[in-house]
Amino acid sequence: MTTLTDPYPSRAATEVAVPRQDPVVWGAPDEPGPISVPDLHSYERDGFLSVEQLLSEDEVAVYRRELERLVTDPAVRADERSVVEPRTQEIRSVFEVHRISEVFAGLVRDERVVGRARQILGSDVYVHQSRINVKPGFGASGFYWHSDFETWHAEDGLPNMRTVSVSIALTENLDTNGGLMIMPGSHRTFLGCAGATPKDNYKKSLQMQDAGTPSDEALTELASRHGIRLFTGRAGSATWFDCNCMHGSGDNITPFPRSNVFIVFNSVENTAVEPFAAPVRRPEFIGARDFTPVR
Ligand code: 6CS
Ligand code: FE
């Protein structure tokens, strides 16, 4: 449960908004790395940073083939790491791809990827979570508004906001097929959500999140204050975003899949402890407990 010293209380009786206590960029402003100083400033201000063309078309083709291989493998489909769409039973996500796929393990170690994470977090990093989101066409459901850190703090025990996610588009992210939306600047407010975490919450939350979902009033206030940015981009484009950004994505009713690979880097100085607001830990394929730095 929430302890007295917990700066980010959540999942209690009522919703509570508190200011962020942690830096956004932990590395020194002139920290050497793939991100320019102006881009590091805009990441600090907005909570996100987009790269138009992180991967070449040929590289995207390799990762797309690997995604297809995984989602058509019956053993992967039967594995608990796979989450299906509630309505169509098509695969929605496959977790821990950096462990079950050597191809995605290579992507995690790519300096263009992990180098940006180290620069933002100012330390060595390990993978807290990885997943491929297939988001097939014709009705794949989206992800309702949430802060990832609210879940990773409450359920996975990450103490501070020293975690960054990268979403790399493996298909074109159009303005119509359920792209990522972020409220710019929302990372500076921690919104503790009302409602205790049910046991085995992940079995439901990875299909449709309930616990850890902000109220309409809070979302209205945040969206009115910060606006909403929709991320579109070609296959191979990427968006890095802070763990506490308020974000979500809509359903995809177009024929065009919106597939991405999503990697969460956590600082080795911020390793998971016990959940701050959940009865039990989530499985390790969702919240890693192997803190080996990415080399
Ligand atoms: O619960 C989680 O860890 C996952 N759920 C969402 C909707 N975003 C972050 C993460 O992949
Ligand atoms: Fe999320």
Q: Which of 158, 209, 261, 266 to mutate to test the pocket of ligand 1 (most atoms within 8 A of CB)?
A: 209
Asked if residue 289 is part of any domain, the answer here is no
- Residue bearing the CA closest to ligand 1, atom 5: 206
Indicate the DSSP class of residue 251: -
- In 3D space, the residue among 144, 136, 147, 130 whose CA is nearest the CA of residue 85 turns out to be 136
Asked if residue 71 is part of any domain, the answer here is yes
Enclosing domain of residue 56: 16-24+33-267
Do the beta carbons of residue 114 and residue 153 sit within 8 Å?
A: no
The contacts of residue 102 (CB under 8 Å, 6+ apart) are: none
Asked if residue 3 is part of any domain, the answer here is no
Q: Does the Cβ of 244 fall within 6 Å of ligand 1?
A: no
- pLDDT tens digits along 64-93: 999 999 999 999 999 999 998 888 888 889
Domain count, the chain: 1
Asked if residue 163 is part of any domain, the answer here is yes
- pLDDT tens digits along 265-280: 999 999 999 999 999 9
CATH number where 141 lies: 2.60.120.620
Q: Does the Cβ of 129 fall within 6 Å of ligand 1?
A: yes
Ligand 1 atom with the smallest distance to the CA of 146 is 7
**Residues of the chain with confidence (pLDDT) below 50:** 2-3
- pLDDT tens digits along 15-51: 999 999 999 999 888 888 999 999 999 999 999 999 9
Instruction: Check the CA dihedral 279-284-290-294 and report its sign.
Output: negative
CB atoms within 10 A of CB 37: 9
Asked if residue 128 is part of any domain, the answer here is yes
For residue 253, what are the CA distances in angstroms to 140, 178, 257? Answer: 7, 8, 9
Gap between the Cα atoms of 200 and 180, Å rounded = 26
Asked if residue 6 is part of any domain, the answer here is no
What are the structure tokens assigned to 152, written together? 């990773």
Ligand 1 atom with the smallest distance to the CA of 151 is 1
For residue 27, the CA-to-ligand 2 centroid distance in Å is 23
Ligand 1 atom with the smallest distance to the CA of 156 is 3
Asked if residue 276 is part of any domain, the answer here is no
Asked if residue 290 is part of any domain, the answer here is no
Kindly give the residue spans of alpha helices, DSSP state H, lying in the chain: 37-46, 57-71, 74-78, 97-100, 102-109, 111-121, 148-154, 202-205, 216-226
Rg (CA), the chain: 18
Residue 181: nearest ligand to its CA? 2
Q: What is the ipTM score, two decimals? A: 0.96
Q: Does the Cβ of 209 fall within 6 Å of ligand 1?
A: yes
